[in-house]
Structure 1
């Protein structure tokens, strides 16, 4: 049965108090702006979505619950672009999420497509409670969402190997459901203020589960993981998507305890320890824990925000950008899983080279020759690794320094931010910790020229290509 309005208010009351999207009534949801357009589509033809506009699409495929679909196509959309499915909270809509969050502006920056679905009835929560929604291709909302993804792949050239999902509140709950039901579809996901897969289960459509919502449903990691393995997609043994989780400690709508239960579930599913591989504080009052596999790649990443309520991700903050970076949408190759090849300095026409494969060695440029010490891999954890003689090292900002002139060295991979790099659409490679650009020293082009970090200047000696 449908949840009463008082219960909806209970789930998102705090968000309403601070005027956030997920807590607003339907009457408060703004209509599509002048930059948005609506197009009717037949199953045989895609509507001609105007660049940098939100386009409504109908007849997109099997849609048992009558969901609505909007698609955002940025001006600089890449060929074979990645797809992000962005899910609103209760009493929200796709167009509202488009206008109230940063995902569209990030799509403008990085050239991926964003699907903004809306629930039916309008303003309702996602169905994360019924038998149909808990099983792959079982029916209800997940089937309609999958139809949107397939349509976008077929009609807009979306890359089926680079599909991601994010959501807030009820949309975060559905994010966990989609990751569980369709592990072969999604490469990664980011859930803001959600609950574990199957936590909200009642057996009925769009029902309220107070025990889960109040953070009172506790299970072992094996129990949570078993629900994913045995209920969502029984028999599946392939790779699983990486998961990022966010929650505020003072969330009065979806209890903070659910963050710990989500961590239990996904670390178990992804086969990593429940003990964090690293813990840090990337911003004031933030605690980030990472759970890496044996290769040092982060499989689960969790953010605990002290003193924060039901208001994530905050527009204009770095929260959505961090989610995009974790998923790999900030310059990920079409495969979504990293790329390997030479890292070429555009101006010099030469390749970044690990000269003697020892820890602490400053990197240099040399004539490209295809050797192992010039073959770099961008990992899903934003590392740049080189493997020589069976030993893998990471490109590293020497001694965690953040000043111009810092040496770019190689070091044992440790998952720290001085070993994380952004490959930007303008050709620069920037250090996540410092924000400085990878720079060929002195604008030189000769073999053996050292590579360092320097203030980004737009110079050709800071332009790189990978692959």
Structure 2
């Protein structure tokens, strides 16, 4: 059943004949207007399918730098998948007042500490969605790309009791950087703390003692924006609390040439997994032929759908049987409310954009 605030929002959009706050008419996202204290000064958007089932799951999705909620949703296909399988999607969105390049501030301690900044704003959004839509709090998950992946990891570390699982795409370990300069070093793979230090930062981030969220890590083998060493560091950071061995329990081929590595805990569960996407640069891996996702800057057709695989690992798409037949998708439809523009993907573009902005501001040389 939809909440009163959701119904009023939909009626307001109907009366005006256009989506609120400049969200494109082709976007399926709605603005979450009120969600309590917002120390991170973030915006929130969401999608709730028609006829939402009782006690549904919730997936929190964080966009990357230069992106926004509607653009990432359109390209990743999360809302389309949610419509087919009956779960809700929440999109925290960065604003330029916080970061001119729309990056989540994963390198700012004030934004990644429990009860503070952006991670606390994300928690407030989650709690509001649970209250408004009857979300099963045992089935709340989070994923993100690049800076969004790093912030997803921060949310998992700061509030592990909220999330059953997380998927970090081209992201970085929690609290590995505490300044812009350190952030660039870590992105290049320089100065990444050792496993023991990373594990201490995780264990010290909250009073939580378990159970811990499952972790899925995705990284392209040709990523020159965020070094692959960061994927290994994220795995090392979480291996301590999960009590998994240093070597993977399973290595297998997935969707052809890609590899999946899994680390199993004492119960035999795949507690941590790593997808190495062969030949892919910096971005979210998609399989456009699957019907979920569309190419855009940093949204890359790699012949494997991270959206589908992640959802399946969380039990959101049992046997891939759709809740209902999907309507035919009109390929020409694109959300106007998106920061990204159609252009060829070029390795390092995000980093170059950010570096130019920081140099012009005199923050780096």
Place the TM-score, normalised by the shorter chain, in its bin.
0.7 to 0.9
Q: For residues 278-289 of structure 1, what are the structure 2 equivalents within 5 Å?
A: 278-289=250-261
The structure in which a higher percent of residues are helix is: 2
Cross-structure match for 2:95 = 120
- Partner of 1:410 in structure 2? none
Which residue, 216, 238, 241 being the options, matches 2:210? 238
Alpha carbons of structure 1 residues 108 and 208: separation in structure 2 relative to 1, 3 Å: farther
* Residue in 1 that maps onto 2:157: 180
Question: Contact between 2:106 and 2:150, CA under 8 Å: does it hold in 1?
Answer: yes
Identify the residue that residue 369 of structure 1 maps to in structure 2. Answer: none
Select the residue among 293, 302, 320 that pairs with 2:307.
320
Superposition pairs for residues 450-465 of structure 1, below 5 Å?
none
Residue in 2 that maps onto 1:131: 109
The superposition leaves residues 99-144 of structure 1 with CA deviations (integer Å, 9 ceiling, x where unpaired) of 121111111121110011211226521111122233211x111111
Change (3 A) 1:207 1:161: farther
TM-score calculated relative to the size of structure 2:
0.74
SS at match of 2:284: coil
Partner of 1:71: 46
Counterpart position of 1:60: 35
* 1:311 corresponding residue in structure 2: 283
1:284, distance to aligned residue in structure 2 (A)? 2.8
Matches within 5 A, 1:135-214: 135-137=113-115, 139-202=116-179, 209-214=183-188
Q: Is the 8 A contact 1:86 1:165 kept in 2?
A: yes
- Deviation, 1:33, is 3.2
SS in 2 for 1:222: helix
Would you say the 8 A contact 2:44–2:93 is kept in 1? yes
Match of 1:313, SS state, is strand
Q: Deviations over 1:156-177 (max 9, x none)?
A: 2222221100101111001110
Rounded Cα–Cα distance in structure 2 between residues aligned with 1:273 and 1:325 = 24
| Residue number in structure 1 paired with 2:78 | 103
Is the 8 Å Cα contact of residues 112 and 118 (structure 2) preserved in structure 1? Answer: no
**Partner SS, residue 316 of structure 2:** coil
How many residues align? The count is 285
Partner in structure 2 of residue 34 of structure 1: 25
- Kept in 2: contact 1:74–1:107 (CA 8 A): yes
Q: Match of 1:222?
A: 196
What residue ranges of structure 2 are gaps of 5+ in the alignment? 1-21, 289-303, 325-365
> Normalized against structure 1, the TM-score is what?
0.58
**Gaps (5+ residues) in structure 1?**
1-30, 37-52, 332-421, 428-467
> Which among 260, 282, 290 is matched to residue 232 of structure 2?
260
Deviations 1:319-345 (A, max 9, x none): 2100111122224xxxxxxxxxxxxxx
Given candidates 241, 248, 264, the residue that maps to 1:292 is 264
Whether the aligned pair in 1 keeps the contact of 2:109 and 2:175 (CA below 8 Å) is no
For residue 425 of structure 1, report the CA deviation from its aligned partner: 5.3
Contact 1:168-1:313 within 8 A present in 2 as well: no
**Cα separation, 2, equivalents of 1:253 and 1:108:** 33
Contact 1:127 1:140 survives alignment (8 Å): no
